[in-house]
Amino acid sequence: MSVQIQDTPGYVKMADDVSQVTDMLRCMQSAEGFLLVYSITDYRSYEYIRHLHQHIRKVNSDAKSPIILVANKGDLLHVRQVPPEAGIQLANELGCSFVEISTSENCQDVCDVFQHLCKEISKHQSSNGEKRRGTVIPRPKSPNMQDLKRRFKQVLSPKVKTPSAVA
């Protein structure tokens, strides 16, 4: 299975770049699975999940694409704003799986979440008897993309002296 990860910002403001919003919509339309992530330290991020879920269900071509609700920052219990019960309740409402993790304390949790999503996608595809061809979505250009291209060209340029050419 080939995986393409498209990180979409949760809070898209009206003033945001139109191309960013367009890329996000294109990603949602063709995605075969979703991780909806909120921070347990930010109640607004939790509240936004319901809206995001509704939007995904409107624009995604497969109304039954697997979704996993992920509560992040599980290590910051002293500033928790969203109780675990709220995450479980929301997952039940949305009909999806739920997991609470801490990306800063255990990177294996992150791997496990992605593996679980891949398994759910695979099960969903086999139950539908289909094998969708993944759509390649161009990654939005960041302001630093031009700088990175310039640096790669410099490094790969034949004008750069190699240790064997200097000797």
Q: Write out the DSSP string of the chain.
A: ---------S---TTS-HHHHHHHHHHHHH-S-EEEEEETT-HHHHHHHHHHHHHHHHH-S-TT--EEEEEE-TT-GGG--S-HHHHHHHHHHHT-EEEE--TTT-HHHHHHHHHHHHHHHHHHHHHHT--PPPPP-PPPPPTTHHHHHHHHHHHH-TTSPPHHHH-
Residue pLDDT, tens place only, 26-50: 777 878 899 999 999 999 999 999 9
Q: Which domains does the chain have, with CATH numbers?
A: 18-140 (3.40.50.300)
Q: For residue 43, what pLDDT is reported?
A: 95
16: phi then psi, degrees, rounded to nearest 5: -65, 160
Residue pLDDT, tens place only, 84-111: 999 999 999 999 999 999 999 888 999 9
Residue that wins the pLDDT comparison between 7 and 66: 66
Q: pTM, whole model, 2 decimals?
A: 0.69
